[in-house]
Amino acid sequence: MILLPNVTREMLDPAFWLARVADPDAPPLDPDGIRAFNARVLETLNLPDPLDLAESISAPVVCGEMTPLSENTYYDVTGAAYTPEMWAAIQANVAAGTVPDEARVRWGLVTQRTPLRYYPSLAPGLSAPGQIAFDRLQGTMLDTGWPAAVVHTSADGQWYFALTPMYWGWVQAAHVALADDREAVRRFIEAEPFVVAVASQATAAMPDGAHALAQMGTRLPLAGRDDLARRVLVPRRDGAGRLALVEGYIARDDPSWHEGYLPCTVRTAFTQAFSLLGEPYAWGGMRAGLFGRDCSRLVKDVWAVTGYACRATAASRAASASRWCALRPTTRPQPAPRCSSRARRRGRCCSSPATSCSTSARWAAPPSRSTACGTTTTRKATSPSSRLRWSLTCPLRRARTGARSLNASRTYRQLACNRAGPHALPNLWLSGSVRDSGARSMRTHPANGALGVKWAAK
């Protein structure tokens, strides 16, 4: 394995990072808190739960959720640019003009890992010729057992336009089993007991000899167990495309599955994240049809095993979280945080000791005031031969500015204070920067209720 500059093999072990967390086994939230967090995320993003949609939706609302045709230039797998005729064919298949005045909502379950597309087409739209890892028309990958609220069908009948737990998009109709009502779907996704996939990929053997593929975070109801196997319920389509629950089988000693969620701790997050080390990058979870993950899906899967329902993108997560987990590079006392002059002029600075930022206050509750300071401190690593610098973030920094890159080339960097409202949500952000004479940096990204561990070269 080739290591980037200033990265040692010890850094590839989660123990290296866990040693720098005060209490990696302390849960940030109990199960009730996680449920409240998940509900609050939907509220913050103004995105309804698929099972909470009305029985029908007006045509303007449905069409308003559809992605308009892009004006960007995209390329197919041969390197040829999309032509106006290709876009016209896509638009005709969308058939927005056929949406009735009141579109009836139909609920169902996804029967296999399948792509959620921006348009009803599997044809990739590459941002540049040959960039197969970046299909810009790919939204994400839906997992087996995810709910879908279908509101429209494409002109060729091969695609459903639906609301999923991630966002609106097009899913292949052959991969969705429609239920009699929403309650049948609710009973499946809320069933107890259950198993959750904790490996990058996991499978369940089916009676017909096939295997149901699941990726990390997939949850399936547990129907029973015996000495050799655990029986799980897997959604399948019957001959009429309706929902049928079929028993699948998982070996009792299969470590790819866990009964119930894993403990919601920093240790779990690091362990799960590093188990994915070395996997290829794939925008939207698909790389020319092959299995993969992008940065957002890595974070989502890592925390899904604990019950957190992270949103689809880093930007959407940053909009719904404000607490942070800080790493400490040494045991030496850290310098007191300071607010920027701009923050002081705006009256958003931490003006009293009670609201001062502290890297030791990892899970500090939001202060009674509606403002809190976000200060980032970077210190040089203890090894004199290393130029590694770590960014320590205040646990009460509003994630509105979380998408900004942190420049670790300065010893101290002050970020403007930001408001952390009364509904501040927990957020874990491992942030670091490694520089090689200013030519290259690696950094992680913030994520809603989630630990960002994807490094990107610059």
pLDDT tens across the length of the chain (458 residues): 788 888 999 999 999 999 998 899 998 888 888 888 888 777 777 778 899 999 999 999 999 999 888 888 999 988 999 999 999 999 999 999 999 999 999 999 999 999 999 999 999 898 889 888 888 899 889 999 999 999 999 999 999 999 998 789 999 999 999 999 999 999 999 999 999 999 999 999 999 999 999 999 999 999 999 889 999 999 999 999 999 999 999 999 999 999 999 999 999 999 999 999 988 888 887 776 677 788 888 988 999 999 988 766 666 666 666 554 555 554 444 444 455 555 454 454 444 333 333 333 322 333 333 333 333 333 333 333 333 233 323 232 333 333 333 333 222 222 222 223 333 323 333 333 222 223 322 233 333 333 333 322 22
416 neighbors 337 (Cβ within 8 angstroms):
no
Measured CA to CA in angstroms, residue 175 lies from 1, 208, 214, 221, 233 at distances of 38, 17, 14, 19, 16
The residue with tokens 């949103």 is 311
CB proximity list for 176: less than 8 A, separation 6 or greater: 108, 109, 110, 111, 148, 150, 160, 162, 237
Buried b (16+ CB within 10 A) or exposed e, 181-201: ebeebbebbebeebbbbbbbe
Residues counted in the chain: 458
**Following CA atoms 308, 313, 315, 320 in sequence, which dihedral angle do they give, to the nearest 10 degrees?**
-20
State pTM to two decimals: 0.70
* DSSP run (H or E) holding 31: helix 31-45
Count the alpha carbons within 13 Å of 155 in the hemisphere toward its beta carbon: 13
The count of other CB atoms within 10 Å of the CB of residue 72 is: 9
